[in-house]
Amino acid sequence: MQYLLLIIACLFWGSSFVATRYALTTGGLGVFTLLTGRFIIASLILILLLLIRGWRKLNGKDLLRLLAIGIIYPGLYFLFETTGLTRIPAFLASIIIASIPALTGIIAHIFLKERMGLRGWGGTLLSVIGVALVVLLANREMPSTVQQAPTSVVGVLLTGGAAIMGAVYITLARHLTRSYQPLTLTTAQSIIGLLLFLPMASLELGRGQLNINLWGLISLGFLGIGVSVVAFLSFNKALTMIEASKASLFLNIIPVISFLLGWLLLGERMNPGQGIGALVVIGGVLLATWSPAKAPA
């Protein structure tokens, strides 16, 4: 069940790149307007679910914990990742973000005393290599006329900060799911994300340069409901049933899903080398999460 939940989350997160592209280009939305709209939709749905199911009263300590995790993810993670991508090539950013499983394993080992074992670390390394193959081979196929962002130390540090924030989030979420229901945790993240990005969205709207249309609203609805609600609930629920280090490995499937959807929906090509890289990613996840059946005594 936990693996199904993780796959559902990764399917939505992987498809979010296609939906985001539609929203920012065809749909006429701005970056922060898109993020704020996502969290408005998600917050309304999640608050409604909380009203239906009921929630336990939160004290000051609870609110501080939820505020901390909300600032880390989606707040700092999206801020570092988006800003970093303006300073380094996309393929380099993807490789840095692919270090999240390894960073999660280290942090979870230190603070949660989780043990990955040789197979877990081997699967982590294999999945990172697979992501690197997929992204690097895609970059080599890029036409010479395409301009890449220059590589800067600041960009590398910012994107590395996003990877660290992602690893810290997964580790903290694993710990907090022992005290809070996934719905409560996801709702807090959504509301905090809304409050963080709302001022920047107001500036975008104030410039009057956006041309939002039906495609933008459809993409926004998909991102708000599917990605910000279903995916987060699925992932946070899975964290109640599986170690953080193993759950984070599934994040390496996201680039593979994005490439496949780009090929199917946007006509993007995947060469044989990228196909091999995708298989390596899946193999690494399977290696790290597979548990051999024990013979009966």
What integer pLDDT is reported at residue 147 of this predicted model?
Answer: 45
Q: Is residue 294 part of a domain?
A: no
**In this predicted model, which residue has the larger pLDDT, 2 or 265?**
2
Q: Which two tokens stand for residue 149?
A: 């962002």
Between CA 75 and CA 198 the distance in angstroms is: 11
Between CA 292 and CA 237 the distance in angstroms is: 24
Q: Is residue 59 part of a domain?
A: yes
Between CA 202 and CA 39 the distance in angstroms is: 14
**In this predicted model, which residue has the larger pLDDT, 161 or 150?**
161
- Helices 117-140, 253-265: inter-axial angle, 10-degree rounding: 30
Question: Does residue 149 have a pLDDT over 60?
Answer: no
Span 252-266, average pLDDT = 72
Q: Is residue 156 part of a domain?
A: yes
Give the structural domain span for 101. 2-289
Nearest to residue 69, comparing CAs of 231, 160, 184, 198? 184
Nearest-5° Cα angle at 118, 117 to 124: 95
Q: Is residue 295 part of a domain?
A: no
Judged by DSSP in three states, 228 sits in helix
92-124 pLDDT, tens digit per residue, is 666 677 678 777 877 877 776 777 677 777 877
Between CA 120 and CA 202 the distance in angstroms is: 45
Nearest to residue 34, comparing CAs of 220, 281, 180, 286? 220
* Residues 240 and 50 sit within 8 Å (Cβ to Cβ): no
* Number of other residues whose CB lies within 10 A of the CB of residue 91: 18
Evaluate if pTM is beyond 0.85: no
Mean pLDDT of the chain: 78
Q: Is residue 99 part of a domain?
A: yes
Q: Is residue 82 part of a domain?
A: yes
- Helices 153-176, 77-84: inter-axial angle, 10-degree rounding: 160
Name the percent of the chain lying above pLDDT 70.
Answer: 81
Between CA 192 and CA 12 the distance in angstroms is: 21
Q: DSSP secondary structure string, 28-89?
A: ---HHHHHHHHHHHHHHHHHHHHHHH--PPP-HHHHHHHHHHHIIIIIIHHHHHHHHTTTS-
Span 15-22, average pLDDT = 76
Q: Is residue 297 part of a domain?
A: no
193-237 pLDDT, tens digit per residue, is 999 999 999 998 888 778 889 888 998 999 999 988 898 889 888
Span 179-199, average pLDDT = 88
What integer pLDDT is reported at residue 40 of this predicted model?
Answer: 95
* Residues 215 and 26 sit within 8 Å (Cβ to Cβ): yes
Q: Is residue 296 part of a domain?
A: no
What integer pLDDT is reported at residue 91 of this predicted model?
Answer: 54
**In this predicted model, which residue has the larger pLDDT, 109 or 66?**
66
Q: Total domain count for the chain?
A: 1
Extract long-range pairs of 45-49: CB within 8 Å, 24+ residues apart.
45/224, 45/225, 45/229, 46/183, 46/186, 46/187, 46/190, 46/229, 47/187, 47/191, 49/183, 49/187
